[in-house]
Amino acid sequence: SRPILDMSYSRQFLDFQGSSIPSSMKKLVVTKLSQNFREAVTLQQDSPVPLPGDGDLLVRNRFVGINASDINYSAGRYDASVKPPFDIGFEGVGEVVALGLSASADYSVGQAVAYVKAGSFAEYTVVPARQAVPLPSVKPEFLTLMVSGATAYLSLKELGDLSEGEKVLVTAAAGGTGQFAVQLAKKAKCHVIGTCSSDEKGGFLKSIGCDRTINYKTENVESVLRKDYPEGVDVVYESVGGKMFDLALNALAIKGRLIVIGFIAGYQNPTGLPPVKAELLPAKLLKKSASVRGFFLNHYLSDYKMALQHLLKMYERGDLVCEVDFGDMSPEGKFTGLESVFRAVDYMYMGKNIGKIVVELPHSVNSKL
């Protein structure tokens, strides 16, 4: 039996490679509320490494995920009562390097874990053991499932009512969540249409099963939908907002369902909202017996672990592509280190990514093994 070592109250503990955990670390902190990420967020060089409590893990982050809503968080839109400074970043994958006594019942030092919790844009994050997800290894692909994959899975399952043969439109289809909406709708035996901004993204979408891709830079989305789908589409998985929302609403079939998982087109505005032609919404919905449904992952946490286990099994069986974009094609190259989070957020808002944007945090650990 493994001896239980209580390291929760010690300031000097060793990590599993036999190297001392430093007393200070780098992390990103929101120091001013703004939807301009570069203005809002500061890289702090010498923050104290936090200590895990009795039921906690100290995770050394190896990969962190970029989300469109990072700038909603830095603008203070989720909780008006929270005032700067506060930590940022929603999800990470790494190794357990220290843990509290209760947490050691289920976890051990060296174990690979993923988590969803504010404060992942840091070299080390304290994660309650009950919120951690044990993984077979530290791989960036697992990170794509934590927020993006789970959002697509739960929103389509709970709100999509997908039936075989239905037509599903996915906007921003080559993005972090879009890639999963395409694949999951395809697995439900639906006909999938995906919008994207380049032929390269269109090629990726075809490779994961998209039946019809629409490059909105070279094709008129509204015309294509009207011509190719005169009866309309049954489900829209919508994350863009603004004109795309209006267009998707108009394209709904009788009894169509429009699922709103975001509206990235407005996040950089001071209000966070893109303008939409909402005054006609009641009439349009009534005329088609259609519905608009919102989805926010935090409201579905009771089903979260089930969704994640399902997605992990699919990935491990080879039934799910988890595309990761490290920014290798970006002007300054791969997103490495916390300082590159700023570039990664810019890259997302320029619409350059194919798949989930992930930043790697390399560790210069002097192993004594």
CB under 8 A, 24+ apart: contacts of 310-317:
310/153, 311/145, 311/149, 311/150, 311/153, 311/180, 312/135, 312/142, 312/145, 315/141, 315/142, 315/145, 316/136
Is 83 in the same domain as 209? Answer: no
Is 76 in the same domain as 163? Answer: no
**Quick count: other Cβ atoms within 10 Å of Cβ 228?**
11
Is 247 in the same domain as 187? Answer: yes
DSSP 217: T
Tokens of 235: 């489900």
The confidence score (pLDDT) of residue 8 equals: 46
The confidence score (pLDDT) of residue 19 equals: 54
Is 204 in the same domain as 255? Answer: yes
Distance between CA atoms of 215 and 332, rounded to whole angstroms?
26
Instruction: Give domain status of residue 5, yes or no.
Output: no
The confidence score (pLDDT) of residue 24 equals: 92
The confidence score (pLDDT) of residue 20 equals: 66
Instruction: Give domain status of residue 264, yes or no.
Output: yes
**Quick count: other Cβ atoms within 10 Å of Cβ 299?**
11
Is 197 in the same domain as 80? Answer: no
Is 31 in the same domain as 123? Answer: yes
Count how many domains the chain has: 2
Is 104 in the same domain as 188? Answer: no
| pLDDT per residue rounded down to tens, the chain (369 residues) | 555 554 544 443 444 444 568 889 999 999 999 999 999 999 999 999 998 888 999 999 999 999 999 999 999 999 889 899 999 999 999 999 988 888 988 999 899 999 999 999 999 999 999 999 999 999 999 999 999 999 999 999 999 999 999 999 999 999 999 999 999 999 999 999 999 999 999 999 999 999 999 999 999 999 999 999 999 999 999 999 999 999 999 999 999 999 999 999 999 999 999 999 989 999 999 999 999 999 999 999 999 999 999 999 999 999 999 999 999 999 999 999 999 999 999 999 999 999 999 999 997 654 433
Write the CATH number for 343. 3.90.180.10
Is 259 in the same domain as 173? Answer: yes
Residue 268 belongs to domain spanning: 146-299
Is 331 in the same domain as 264? Answer: no
Write the CATH number for 230. 3.40.50.720
Is 162 in the same domain as 283? Answer: yes
- CA 73, distance to chain mean position in Å, is 13
Q: What is the pTM of this model?
A: 0.93
The confidence score (pLDDT) of residue 75 equals: 96
Distance between CA atoms of 303 and 117, rounded to whole angstroms?
17
